[in-house]
């Protein structure tokens, strides 16, 4: 297999983009990624999109986006793994390049979520859970993560304050991200007194409904120097795993086993362990998710994720900064785009080009993107080449 | 909800039918074609007990539209003696009395109404032991 480099990244401002369509949002991101390189022609394009059908009534995403990107006849397709669709698009793009099938591939992600009502968005997102055995009986996504939260709190003593610390930290990080949907501070009290959604999770424990896209361009490492002037970033570890789609069918609901399995695979490929990671972008769709995921990735022992965020170990300047971009919580969560936006942030940090968000000595970054209540996980490790 | 999609799940939802692996004994709801423990493909139909234990729960304040008339409601994961776990509403109980590990029983209830013209959907909910 060929070594793969990320040579271009693009991400426009996220938010409630009422004056932009699904295709507008995606093409804007893709053009930014292309402009970050010397590439003018792609060999392939893979787009993560959870549900163009339910959010805007549009499927067949590959063809429409290739056309509007001005690359008619380009080999292009959409891949789907719920909220991990973006991560899956990145993996598939790497496979295209590593295998020699293609040289220059764009991996993108997009979701246009505000063309439907709140109820419509709830309905579309719920399609990532077990429709007949969770959703039918009244489960919602905040509800499923609330079930995990209570179990985690009762097993390990994780506190309401510790959940709130995740939101406070990520919103603080988001204030430095010009592309974030909600780049403002929140306080512990604001989080703890915000509207109850699914006990113990409140609205400020939840990631928002967002329109947005992101795109990255990958190519073989030996071609990278000719196709970009930016510092080179190499993909060194990949992992992917699934689990039972229904939360109640998992062995242990206080951990995300798919994340543990995918991380092991990625660490083994990169020849690294959790202690070698300088910073990470993880899937904080809810505050409890970040705590559980930092444990499942091996950054902290089971039950220690809550105390770690409270002690500032995952903040800027902490032992392992998590979600310097603001995470899903502050940056927004256009579901199909999230996995690609994580790669965007990792590449920016590794290039030393993350502006106000830049940390020192960013050499090895990890992205963890998951779907549903954790039944799919993609993990990628990227390093300065 | 399309009638065929609804009708397919009726044995599980109406009668708590489960499928037990003939080789290793693992019990499944809903049915599956292959056992995830031993790989066998033959199952016998059994009926689950109606006594369960509450594993974890939440109170849903922002439900999907078809559940708005029931909000807020408790939702729990319960474990059956046969090893199966299922998610359903916990009803006829004050939220303050919910406790993980408590015994509950399973009852046949109306679950949701599919709009004004749609079919009524029935299934299981968890209730206190009488
Ligand atoms: Zn078996």
Question: Residue B129 sits in a domain of what CATH number?
Answer: 2.40.50.840
Same domain, B70 and B128: yes
C-alpha A155 – ligand 1 centre gap (Å): 30
A381/A237 Cα distance (integer angstroms): 5
Domain holding B38, by residue range, is 1-47
Same domain, B57 and B120: yes
Same domain, B31 and B64: no
- Residue A180, token pair as written in the block: 């974030």
Query: CA nearest A103: which of A227, A206, A205?
Result: A227
Domain regions of chain A by residue span: 4-117+209-227, 124-208+236-384
Contact A264, A216 (CB under 8 A): no
Question: Chain A contacts of B99, Cβ < 8 Å?
Answer: none
Helix (H) or strand (E) holding A331: helix A327-331
Q: The whole model's pTM is what? A: 0.97
Under an 8 A CB cutoff, do B64 and A150 touch? no
Dump pLDDT digits (tens) for B39-96.
Answer: 999 999 999 999 999 999 999 999 999 999 999 999 999 999 999 999 999 999 999 9
The DSSP string of A60-106 is -HHHHHHHHTT-TT--EEEE-BTBTHHHHHHHHHHHHHHHTS-SSEE
Cα distance from B125 to chain A (closest Cα, Å)? 8
Count of domains forming chain B: 2
- The rounded mean pLDDT for chain A is 97
Contact A269, A239 (CB under 8 A): yes
Under an 8 A CB cutoff, do B62 and A198 touch? yes
Same domain, B43 and B53: no
Under an 8 A CB cutoff, do B64 and A126 touch? yes
A307/A318 Cα distance (integer angstroms): 13
- For domain A124-208+236-384, which CATH number applies: 3.40.640.10, 3.40.47.10, 3.90.650.10, 2.60.40.3880? 3.40.47.10
Contact A207, A167 (CB under 8 A): no
Q: Do domains A4-117+209-227 and A124-208+236-384 have the same CATH topology?
A: yes
**CB-nearest partner of A139 from B59, B87, B123:** B87
Under an 8 A CB cutoff, do A136 and B112 touch? yes
The reply to whether A219 belongs to the active site is no
A114/A158 Cα distance (integer angstroms): 34
Query: CA nearest A33: which of A380, A348, A275?
Result: A348
For domain A4-117+209-227, the CATH superfamily is: Thiolase/Chalcone synthase (3.40.47.10)
**Percentage helix, strand, coil for chain A under 3-state DSSP, each rounded to 5:** 40, 20, 40
Phi, psi values for residue A115, rounded to 5°: -80, -10
Same domain, B55 and B41: no
Same domain, B30 and B64: no
C-alpha A248 – ligand 1 centre gap (Å): 19
A17-21, A274-278, B2-6: lowest mean pLDDT where? B2-6
B63/B61 Cα distance (integer angstroms): 6
Q: Count other Cβ atoms within 10 Å, centred on residue A369.
A: 33
Same domain, B126 and B101: yes
Same domain, B63 and B126: yes
ipTM entry? 0.97
Dump pLDDT digits (tens) for A285-323.
Answer: 999 999 999 999 999 999 999 999 999 999 999 999 999
């Amino acid at each position: 297999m060929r070594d793969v480099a990320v040579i271009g990244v693009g991400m426009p401002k996220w938010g409630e983009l009422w004056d932009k369509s699904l295709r507008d949002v995606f093409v804007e991101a893709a053009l930014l990624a292309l402009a970050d390189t010397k590439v003018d022609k792609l060999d392939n394009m893979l787009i993560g999109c959870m549900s163009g059908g339910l959010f805007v009534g549009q499927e067949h995403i590959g063809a429409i986006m290739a056309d509007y990107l001005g690359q008619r006849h380009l080999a292009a397709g959409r891949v789907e793994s719920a909220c991990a669709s973006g991560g899956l698009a990145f993996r598939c793009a790497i496979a295209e390049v590593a295998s020699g099938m293609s040289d220059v591939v764009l991996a993108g992600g997009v979701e246009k979520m505000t063309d439907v009502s709140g109820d419509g968005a709830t309905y579309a997102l719920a399609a990532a859970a077990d429709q007949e055995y969770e959703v039918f009986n009244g489960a919602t996504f905040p509800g499923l993560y609330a079930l995990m939260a209570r179990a985690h709190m009762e097993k390990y003593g994780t506190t309401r304050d510790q959940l709130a610390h995740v939101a406070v930290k990520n919103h603080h990080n988001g204030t430095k991200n010009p592309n974030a949907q909600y780049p403002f501070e929140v306080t512990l009290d604001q989080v703890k007194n915000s509207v109850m959604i699914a006990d113990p999770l409140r609205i400020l424990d939840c990631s928002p409904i967002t329109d947005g896209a992101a795109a990255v361009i990958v190519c073989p490492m030996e071609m990278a120097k000719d196709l970009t002037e930016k510092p080179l970033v190499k993909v060194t570890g990949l992992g992917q795993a699934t689990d039972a789609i229904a939360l109640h069918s998992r062995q242990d609901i206080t951990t995300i086993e798919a994340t543990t399995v995918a991380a092991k695979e990625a660490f083994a490929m990169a020849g690294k362990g959790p202690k070698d990671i300088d910073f990470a972008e993880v899937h904080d769709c809810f505050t409890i998710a970040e705590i559980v995921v930092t444990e499942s990735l091996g950054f902290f022992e089971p039950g220690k994720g809550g105390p770690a965020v409270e002690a500032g170990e995952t903040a800027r300047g902490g032992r392992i900064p998590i979600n310097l971009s603001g995470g899903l919580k502050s940056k927004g969560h256009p579901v199909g785009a999230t996995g690609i936006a994580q790669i965007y942030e990792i590449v920016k940090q590794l290039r030393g080009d993350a502006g106000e968000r830049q940390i020192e000595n960013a050499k090895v970054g990890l992205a963890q993107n998951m779907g549903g209540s954790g039944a799919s996980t993609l993990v990628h490790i990227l390093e300065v080449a | 909800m399309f009638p065929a999609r609804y009708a397919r799940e009726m044995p599980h939802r109406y009668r708590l039918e489960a499928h037990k692996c003939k080789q290793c004994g693992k019990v499944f709801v809903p049915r599956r074609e292959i056992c995830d423990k031993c790989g066998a493909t033959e199952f016998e139909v059994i009926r689950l007990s109606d006594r369960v234990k509450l594993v974890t729960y939440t109170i849903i304040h922002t439900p999907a539209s078809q559940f708005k008339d029931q909000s807020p409601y408790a939702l729990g994961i319960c474990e059956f003696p046969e090893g199966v776990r299922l998610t359903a509403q916990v009803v006829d109980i004050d939220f303050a009395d919910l406790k993980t590990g408590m015994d509950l029983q399973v009852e046949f209830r109306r679950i949701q109404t599919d709009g004004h013209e749609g079919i009524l959907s029935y299934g299981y909910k968890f209730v206190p032991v009488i």
